[in-house]
């Protein structure tokens, strides 16, 4: 009898839990449907804008490139986060239209910046599955007069998982045209080493999940040191993502990591702020690691980065 009651209780609890689950699912699909309905309009009206986050040389803090990050600001001024609308765009096959418009705008913006500043553009795994994406990308560079050697595409390991030969062909085509390829979120996926031997990446981006615990955790430091060494051996540039503190930046420099990105130097900013960022002296450069570093214009001690 008691057991019966207990059982009934468990059943009741389960039902309540699944009802909560269903309600939240419903909320989510509702929200997704609501966003989806406006997403197409927003893409067509170019309301999804490119913002730019600096990629800098750790030693000098000199900006070497900018990563394009999509931002959707609604009429009320609120932003819809990209990790909400990008998956919806991918699911509803809107990612091609979104990415292509975004790239076009970014290439136009970037033409105003110094020629040695590269543009880094995220390619969605779903976009990479669409036939001819690499040729359309080259068309956009042609139309906007943007030099392929100034573009880097960031791909994730997921892109390589579904159809390796097709992805390899597309990337080889882009590399032949002078576009650099970076492996994004490095260290978070699987079979990294196999992929590193299959492709000649110009850059690996060390995921920010490795950077966040760096100071507290010595094992993490060893892992990052290993990733940096791996990049060296393969003649690939390493960029650490998500640098938020001075201490992380200094330590990454000591671990041998040459490039970085993160809120410490700058968040993604709109195009009109990029010009000011590029013109400004590198933030606190004179005191990095307690040493005096050369002025920004000193070309001998600050070799120009190459992409490939």
Q: Which is nearer to ligand G, 82 or 294 (CB)?
A: 82
DSSP symbol at 282: P
Shortest Å distance, C-beta 157 to ligand G: 12
Shortest Å distance, C-beta 212 to ligand G: 7
Q: Which is nearer to Mn ion, 252 or 268 (CB)?
A: 268
For every residue of 239-266, which 3-state class applies, written as one string?
A: EECCCCCHHHHHHHHHCCCCEECCCCCC
Residue 59 found at the interface with Mn ion (CB under 5 A): no
Residue 268 contact among Mn ion, ligand G, none, beta carbon within 5 to 8 Å by kind: ligand G
Which of positions 97-136 make contact with Mn ion (CB under 5 A)?
122
Shortest Å distance, C-beta 99 to ligand G: 6
Shortest Å distance, C-beta 88 to ligand G: 12
Of residues 49, 96, 157, 184, which one binds Mn ion by CB under 5 A? 184
Alpha-carbon span 304 to 105, nearest angstrom: 26
Question: Which DSSP string corresponds to 205-216?
Answer: EE-HHHHTTTTT
Shortest Å distance, C-beta 92 to ligand G: 14
Q: Which residues bind ligand G (CB under 6 A)?
A: 53, 68-70, 82-83, 86, 99, 102, 122, 124, 184-185, 208, 241-244, 261-263, 268
Instruction: Say if CB 224 and CB 292 are below 8 A apart.
Output: no
Of residues 49, 96, 134, 154, which one binds Mn ion by CB under 5 A? 154
Count of beta carbons in the 10 Å neighbourhood of residue 129: 16
Helices (H), the chain: 2-44, 82-91, 95-110, 125-128, 133-144, 157-162, 164-176, 192-198, 208-211, 218-233, 246-254, 271-279
List interacting residues with Mn ion (CB under 5 A).
122, 154, 184
């Amino acid at each position: 009898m008691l057991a019966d009651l207990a059982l009934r209780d468990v059943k009741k609890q389960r039902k309540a839990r699944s009802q909560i689950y269903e309600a939240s699912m419903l909320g989510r699909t509702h929200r997704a449907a609501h966003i989806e309905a406006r997403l197409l309009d927003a893409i067509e009206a170019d309301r999804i804008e490119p913002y730019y986050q600096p990629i800098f040389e750790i030693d000098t803090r000199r900006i070497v490139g900018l990563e394009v990050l999509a931002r959707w600001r609604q009429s009320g001024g609120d932003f819809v986060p990209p990790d909400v609308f990008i998956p919806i765009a991918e699911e509803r096959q809107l990612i091609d239209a979104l990415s292509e418009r975004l790239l076009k705008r970014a290439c136009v913006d970037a033409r105003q910046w110094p020629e040695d500043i590269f543009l880094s553009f995220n390619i969605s795994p779903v976009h990479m599955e669409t036939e001819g994406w690499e040729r359309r990308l080259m068309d956009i560079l042609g139309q906007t007069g943007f030099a392929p050697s100034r573009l880097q595409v960031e791909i994730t390991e997921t892109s390589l998982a579904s159809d390796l030969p097709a992805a390899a062909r597309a990337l080889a085509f882009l590399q032949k045209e002078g576009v650099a390829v970076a492996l994004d979120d490095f260290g978070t996926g699987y079979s990294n080493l196999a992929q590193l031997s299959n492709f000649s990446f110009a850059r690996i981006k060390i995921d920010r999940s490795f950077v966040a615990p760096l100071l507290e955790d010595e094992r993490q430091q060893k892992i990052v040191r290993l990733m940096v060494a791996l990049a060296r051996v393969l003649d690939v540039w390493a960029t650490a993502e998500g640098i938020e503190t001075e201490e992380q930046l200094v330590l990454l420099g000591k671990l041998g990591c040459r490039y970085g990105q993160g809120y410490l130097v700058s968040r993604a900013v709109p195009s009109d702020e990029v010009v000011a960022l590029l013109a400004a002296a590198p933030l606190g450069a004179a005191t990095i690691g307690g040493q005096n570093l050369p002025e920004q214009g000193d070309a001998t001690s600050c070799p120009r980065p190459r992409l490939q």
